[in-house]
Amino acid sequence: MDFMLDKKHEMARQLFKEFAEKEAKPLAQEVDETEQFPAETVAKMKKAGFLGIPVPKEYGGQGCDPLTYAMCVEELSKVCATTGVIVSAHTSLCCDPIMTFGTEEQKQKYLVPLAKGEKLGAFGLTEPGAGTDAQGQQTKAVLDGDEWVVNGSKCFITNGKEADVYVIFAVTGTVEKRGKKMKEISAFIVEKGTSGFTFGTKEKKMGIRGSSTYELIFTDCRIPKENLLGKQGQGFKIAMHTLDGGRIGIASQALGIAEGALERTIEYVKERKQFGRAIGAFQNTQFQLADMATKVEAAKLLVYKAAMAKATQKTYSVEAAMAKLYAAEVAMEVTTKAVQLHGGYGYTREYEVERMMRDAKITEIYEGTSEVQRMVISANLLK
């Protein structure tokens, strides 16, 4: 067992770090303040190949592994969690399901431009009445000739208005499972600009404020029959598979936020003086930092292990759930302690830890709440 990164992963981390420091960090505060989507940074990430890291080269991607992708989201999130989630939602939630379940034609038409970064992707599963309970879906798709007619809405969609390609889910009928009538859910690829597909309200959020979170509205939206992703009725399976990968992305984001907050705090406690000494000289500060650093390291091991599991194992739901559960809770705890160690200054927008604490909270909620992760983990223990 080797816990060291090899040279190519080290160099990739160096690249992500340099990019994050130079391109994303200077804009992070402004992106948060103005709720502006960082389009300029996304254009630069396209050039640098960050939008198709784990996609094979034959489909326009970089041909790297999930660990490299996880490190990219981690390094971006250290300085700007908004930028981190843009990459995560695009890659894990849109590129990945098309790569895994798409036909060759769908891959050529959608995955290639997505992986090259020419198009941005999004994922629409959540509805006002269907969050953790995916069976609560109300959006319907009915086959009419050569087209599916979609009606309904999706909410809290990351990259909402900025994306070009959306993987969405809709009820296509009913099926009987163990004597119970269940909704049959199917997945579809929808392009921006399709007639009947519009955007609702933009969410005003606590954190990751630049990430363009929108409602998607489908009113008699007609999409070609061939845009069904996977088989009819395979939607739930596709959603769960996609979220397993997505959780590794969000776990990486959470890890990055925690690391970023720890770095800022270490700098601050060396500078800030009280009672004639730097506050880092007090044992309380030292013990807090020791606990923060230990938890960050444990989170990192879980996240990297889950990323490696995605590369080598057929299923990795438990690894992904553990990584996301732990990294998200560590992000919340570490950022809260970081604000506390910054004192009154930490509560102001002048210091980045204030933003990081707000950004951290969402990692315990989206792509499966911490409670859902506990359900996944315990279900595996008790099966």
Beta pairing partners, 243: none
Of 1, 7, 275, 383, which lies in the binding site for other proteins, with binding defined by CB under 8 A?
7
Q: Which of 2, 47, 105, 176 binds other proteins (CB under 8 A)?
A: 47
Cα distance between residue 86 and residue 154, in whole Å: 18
- Nearer to other proteins (CB atom), residue 68 or residue 82: 68
Residue 73 near other proteins by CB under 8 A: no
Q: Is 256 in the site for other proteins (CB under 8 A)?
A: no
SS3 129: coil
Rule CB under 8 A: is residue 12 a binding residue for other proteins? yes
Task: Give Cα 356 distance to the centre of its chain.
Answer: 16
Least Å from the CB of residue 47 to other proteins: 7
Q: Which of 23, 127, 215, 367 is catalytic?
A: 367
Instruction: With contacts defined by CB under 8 A, name the span among 44-52, 160-168, 345-353, 367-375 that binds other proteins.
Output: 44-52
CB 157 within 8 A of CB 123: yes
Q: Which of 61, 113, 246, 256 lies at the binding interface for other proteins (CB under 8 A)? A: 61
- Residue 49 sits in the site that holds other proteins (CB under 8 A): yes
Among 27, 72, 79, 239, binds other proteins (CB under 8 A): 72
Among 21, 57, 201, 349, binds other proteins (CB under 8 A): 57
Tokens 């650093």 belong to 293
For residues 193 and 241, is the Cβ–Cβ distance under 8 A? Answer: no
User: Considering beta carbons, is residue 12 or 28 the nearer one to other proteins?
Assistant: 12
84 binds other proteins (CB under 8 A): no
CB 62 within 8 A of CB 215: no
Which residue blocks in the chain are alpha helix, DSSP H? 7-19, 25-34, 39-48, 66-79, 81-88, 96-101, 104-106, 112-116, 235-271, 283-312, 317-342, 352-363, 370-381
| Cα R_g (the chain), whole angstroms | 21
Closer residue to other proteins in complex, CB, 64/120: 64
Tell the smallest beta-carbon distance from residue 50 to other proteins (Å).
7
Which residue among 68, 211, 253, 363 contacts other proteins (CB under 8 A)?
68
State yes or no: residue 62 binds other proteins (CB under 8 A): yes
3-state helix, strand, coil in the chain (%, to 5): 55, 20, 25
Residues 6+ apart with CB under 8 A from 28: 79, 80, 82, 83, 352, 355
| Nearest CA-CA partner of 88 in 40, 158, 24 | 158
- Assess whether 176 carries a catalytic annotation: no
Q: Which stretch binds other proteins (CB under 8 A): 64-72, 89-97, 165-173, 350-358?
A: 64-72
Nearer to other proteins, 53 or 150 (CB): 53
Number of residues that bind other proteins (CB under 8 A): 19
Distance CA 341, CA 355 (A): 15
Give the nearest distance from C-beta 70 to other proteins in angstroms: 12
Active-site residues, by number, are: 367
Binding site for other proteins (CB under 8 A): 7-8, 11-12, 15, 18-19, 47-50, 53, 57, 61-64, 68, 72
